[in-house]
Amino acid sequence: MKAGFKRISLIAVMIMLGLGLSGQRQLPFDGPWEDEKFFNVGYSIGLNAMTFKIDPSEQFQVYDSLYPAMGGVLPGINIHLTLNFRLNQFFDIRLLPGMSFGQRNISFSTTSLTDTVFSPQKIESSFIEIPLQLRYGWRMRNVKPYVIGGINYRYDFYAQDKYRIERPVYLRLNKPDLYYEAGAGIRFYLSNIKMSAEIKMSNGVKDVLAHDPHPEYPQYCNAIDQLKSRMWVLSLHFE
């Protein structure tokens, strides 16, 4: 899974560098006044990969040999509004209210000799989120490499308030979470629009597992001590 993230990051960096070099060769110096505007508004679309950092329950494993682990990573989508506030030549503050959708799979394995089969837990999430970021960048003609850092409040309105018979999911998540974020990107100054290609990581700081075992399948919840959310996001911003 880590190797997959490294490949995604490498491909994203190569694409951004290639576009940046192409923009430097082909375009004249466009819109030098654009960076002097205090406020810009736009939109953003992107792909995400949601995962968990799973801490197994050591106490539960003393009595049972059920081990949780991340399953395959599936792509999700992000849609945001971008609000950019210029501080000076190098620094901006960005607010990106929007939504993200994705799925995380947790598999369970056992070393016991029983014939019990534990079904993977497919946990879908739909977030309302409000990232607040500080961006530092330096313009070089028609491209502007930058780095970002900030926080992101996410609310998972798809998380279950209670277990439902029609949904064979035996783990519940808390709805709110706070993330810290870091990333990098390149801004391109085109003839009529500014476009940014960006990759960032987003790590949750709270244990999002609702420690409320399913009445019929408590072993799924009991096998986990903590769940912390992780997300990688590859985005295109347009202003």
Helix %, strand %, coil % of the chain (to 5): 15, 55, 30
Residue 15: which pLDDT band, with cuts at 50, 70 and 90? Answer: low
Instruction: Say what the pLDDT of residue 58 is.
Output: 80
d(CA 203, CA 180): 6
Domain ranges of the chain: 2-238
Instruction: Say what the pLDDT of residue 115 is.
Output: 52
pLDDT above 50 for 7: yes
Phi, psi of 172 (to 5 degrees): -120, 145
d(CA 200, CA 46): 11
Instruction: Say what the pLDDT of residue 167 is.
Output: 84
More confident residue, 57 or 50: 50
The answer to whether the pTM exceeds 0.75 is yes
pLDDT above 60 for 65: yes
Instruction: Say what the pLDDT of residue 33 is.
Output: 56
Mean pLDDT of all residues in the chain?
86
% of the chain with per-residue pLDDT over 90: 62
d(CA 122, CA 145): 38
Q: Kindly report, residue by residue over 135-148, the tens digit of the pLDDT.
A: 999 999 889 999 99
Q: Kindly report, residue by residue over 208-227, the tens digit of the pLDDT.
A: 999 999 999 898 999 999 99
Alpha helices by DSSP H, the chain: 2-26, 58-63, 218-222
Q: Which residues pair with 196 in a beta bridge?
A: 187, 237
Tokens (6 digits) for 36: 């002097």
* Least confidently predicted of 25-39, 70-84, 118-132: 25-39
**CATH number for the domain whose boundaries are 2-238:** 2.40.160.20
Q: Kindly report, residue by residue over 145-165, the tens digit of the pLDDT.
A: 999 999 999 999 999 888 988
Q: Is the CB of residue 86 less than 8 Å from the CB of residue 37?
A: yes
In the predicted model, what is the mean pLDDT of residues 194-204?
A: 97
Cα 170 from chain centre? 24
Q: Is the CB of residue 76 less than 8 Å from the CB of residue 101?
A: yes
Residue 132: which pLDDT band, with cuts at 50, 70 and 90? Answer: very high
Q: Kindly report, residue by residue over 90-126, the tens digit of the pLDDT.
A: 999 999 999 999 999 999 887 665 555 678 999 999 9
pLDDT above 80 for 2: no
Tokens (6 digits) for 12: 């994203």
Residue 52: which pLDDT band, with cuts at 50, 70 and 90? Answer: very high
